[in-house]
């Protein structure tokens, strides 16, 4: 296992989030998200067959509410929900492998899970994947504003353009638009939603003045009249009043050139998948350089690494779990996911065929990447590729006892400069139960995660003279918002160096120009 390296000061800044444990430690705080999806197994296809796994119940509300409660008990920052709108049908040219193994198919809508989980928690945040390719920005803006209201500011949007042709076909296209064009569309899409969220209502538009009577001041609401290349006419105004964060926190996970350019301009959090810290470090540095070139404080862009921990009470027990879980993984499911992620269909190759010898640059590139991650594999055939993917997907799987896992996490922070982690699972809820019970106490003792969520000021108490004296929305307790977790208590809206801040219509001020 990798020991923790000496602490390095990466992108020191006033927005570099420090430990909020209250013990005086100045260690960089690890941001912790759980990585899930409304399906079985998610990044570990086939693990639903393990008797301790419950992910086959992903369509039950209690499955999600209980996970939310568990994560909040461990003071996680949030739960990040992936999503797709199509199936993994590259492998074998059909959905059979995905269907038989339950590999991210069937899958339910993540947005509809949030309200129930928010009602069961106070501080846990929710990152929700939604595409710019198939939902109109006016409609999506209302969905996220609704959730930001109902959660008291605990939502973020993982902006994706899509990557499955199977999804495009459901919306009447033969395949997806070219990659660069999808990001061009997404960039205009962001302008539309920013104008709706930030600029069609002033902060002081809604006054609830019964003496006048005036609910909303008409002079503090306006049309945005967006006219663009891809969205020809979106007049506005936004149908929702300003929310606690106004706009959700913006997440992004694209690693291509257009994806990184998009992240430099828009993202507040990016997710990366790299097999070791030295590879991750290059991506972290590139992301921060991009943010700086966009006029932002580079430390304001938070980077979370995808990791899948397998935790035992000892290193030996953890290794036993790894071996056991590997037996429950689905080779076919892993190869179906691989096909969707890479566009490579390995079904036409023999079971024992050496994939590094195949005359295909795409296959060679993918397999060489795996070989670099694990040079001990004697022959990279289909089975080896499946074994590499079926526990944790494309991200690294770390195995060990509690101290070892904590050391490995600290090594990623110190050596790669990441701000935290998006933690995948092999067993739901077992992976997160082990992490909360065994690893979080060690991280708390080291002062690198919260011992409790920071307290935030509550709204002025509302006194009522008639009707219910409590409940029904009166004097609701609020927790820390998603953006405050990144930048400190009080920073609920975009920082001043973020592109979208120019759109914000502030109280007592004239409306900003939308040109």
Average pLDDT over residues 43-56: 98
Please report the pLDDT score of residue 310 as a whole number: 98
Average pLDDT over residues 28-47: 97
Which ranges in 312-463 belong to alpha helices (H)? 315-328, 331-342, 361-373, 382-389, 402-411, 430-434, 440-445
With beta carbons less than 8 A apart as the criterion, state whether 299 and 16 touch.
yes
Please report the pLDDT score of residue 22 as a whole number: 39
Please report the pLDDT score of residue 7 as a whole number: 27
How much is the pTM?
0.93
Q: What is the pLDDT of residues 144-161, one digit of tens each?
A: 999 999 999 999 999 999
Q: What is the pLDDT of residues 251-279, one digit of tens each?
A: 999 778 888 999 999 999 999 999 899 99
What domains, with CATH codes, occur in the chain? 31-330+390-408+418-432+460-503 (3.20.20.30), 341-389 (no CATH)
Nearest one of 152, 75, 33, 153 to 454, comparing CA atoms:
75
Question: Which positions ≥6 away from 113 have C-beta within 8 Å?
Answer: 38, 61, 64, 81
Average model confidence (pLDDT) for the chain? 92
The rounded Cα 229 to chain-centroid distance in angstroms is: 29
Q: What does the block give as tokens for 88?
A: 């993994």
- The pair phi, psi for residue 513, each rounded to 5°, is -70, 145
The vertex-156 CA angle with 228 and 459, nearest 5°, equals: 110
Please report the pLDDT score of residue 23 as a whole number: 39
Whether 358 shows a pLDDT value over 90: the answer reads no
Whether 65 shows a pLDDT value over 70: the answer reads yes
Whether 360 shows a pLDDT value over 80: the answer reads no
What number of other Cβ atoms are within 10 A of residue 300's Cβ? Answer: 22
Q: What is the pLDDT of residues 269-311, one digit of tens each?
A: 999 999 899 999 999 999 999 999 999 999 999 999 999 999 9
Q: What is the pLDDT of residues 496-508, one digit of tens each?
A: 999 999 999 999 9
Whether 409 shows a pLDDT value over 80: the answer reads yes
Residue ranges of E strands in 430-493 = none
Q: Which residue has the higher pLDDT, 234 or 370?
A: 234
Whether 430 shows a pLDDT value over 50: the answer reads yes
Please report the pLDDT score of residue 16 as a whole number: 44
Please report the pLDDT score of residue 242 as a whole number: 98
Please report the pLDDT score of residue 24 as a whole number: 36
Lowest mean pLDDT of 16-20, 87-91, 351-355, name the range: 16-20
Whether 46 shows a pLDDT value over 80: the answer reads yes
């Amino acid at each position: 296992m990798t020991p923790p390296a000496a602490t390095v000061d990466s992108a020191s800044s006033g927005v570099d989030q420090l430990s909020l444990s209250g013990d005086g430690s100045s260690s960089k705080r690890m941001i912790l998200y759980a990585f899930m999806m409304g399906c079985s197994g998610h990044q570990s296809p086939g693990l639903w067959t393990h008797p301790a796994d419950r992910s086959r119940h992903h369509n039950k509300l209690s499955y999600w509410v209980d996970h939310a409660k568990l994560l909040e008990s461990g003071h996680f920052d949030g739960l990040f929900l992936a999503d797709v709108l199509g199936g993994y049908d590259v492998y074998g040219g059909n959905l059979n492998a995905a269907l038989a193994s339950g590999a991210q198919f069937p899958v339910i809508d993540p947005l509809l899970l949030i309200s129930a989980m928010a009602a069961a928690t106070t501080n846990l945040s929710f990152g929700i994947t939604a595409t710019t390719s198939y939902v109109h920005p006016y409609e999506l803006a209302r969905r996220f504003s609704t959730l930001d209201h109902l959660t008291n500011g605990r939502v973020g949007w993982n902006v994706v353009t899509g990557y499955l042709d199977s999804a495009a076909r459901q919306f009447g296209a033969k395949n997806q638009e070219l990659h660069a064009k999808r990001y061009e569309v997404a960039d205009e899409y962001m302008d539309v939603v920013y104008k709706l969220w930030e600029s069609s209502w002033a902060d002081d538009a809604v006054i609830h003045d019964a003496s006048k009577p005036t609910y909303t001041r008409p002079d503090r609401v306006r049309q945005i009249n967006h006219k663009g290349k891809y969205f020809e006419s979106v007049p506005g105004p936004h149908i929702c009043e300003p929310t606690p964060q106004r706009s959700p926190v913006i997440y992004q996970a694209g690693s291509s050139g257009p994806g990184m350019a998009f992240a430099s301009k828009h993202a507040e959090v990016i997710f990366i998948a790299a097999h070791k810290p030295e590879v991750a470090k290059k991506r972290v540095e590139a992301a921060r350089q991009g943010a700086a070139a966009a006029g932002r404080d580079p430390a304001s862009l938070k980077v979370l690494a995808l990791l899948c921990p397998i935790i035992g009470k000892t290193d030996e027990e953890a290794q036993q779990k790894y071996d056991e879980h590997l037996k429950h993984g689905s080779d076919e499911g892993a190869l179906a996911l691989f096909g969707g992620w890479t566009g490579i269909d390995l079904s036409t190759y023999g079971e024992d065929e050496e994939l590094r010898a195949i005359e295909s640059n795409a296959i060679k590139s993918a397999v060489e990447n795996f070989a670099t991650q694990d040079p001990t594999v004697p022959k990279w055939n289909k089975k080896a590729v499946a074994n590499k993917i079926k526990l944790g997907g494309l991200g690294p799987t770390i195995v060990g006892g509690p101290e070892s896992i904590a050391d490995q996490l600290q090594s990623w922070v110190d050596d790669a400069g990441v701000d935290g982690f998006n933690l995948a699972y092999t067993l739901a809820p077992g992976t997160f139960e082990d992490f909360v019970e065994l690893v979080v106490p060690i991280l708390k003792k080291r002062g690198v995660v919260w011992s409790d969520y920071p307290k935030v000021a509550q709204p002025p108490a509302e006194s009522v003279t008639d009707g219910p004296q409590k409940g029904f929305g009166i004097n609701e307790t609020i927790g820390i918002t998603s953006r405050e977790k990144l930048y400190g208590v009080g920073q609920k809206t975009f920082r001043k160096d973020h592109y979208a801040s120019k759109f914000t219509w502030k109280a007592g001020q004239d409306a900003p120009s939308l040109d």
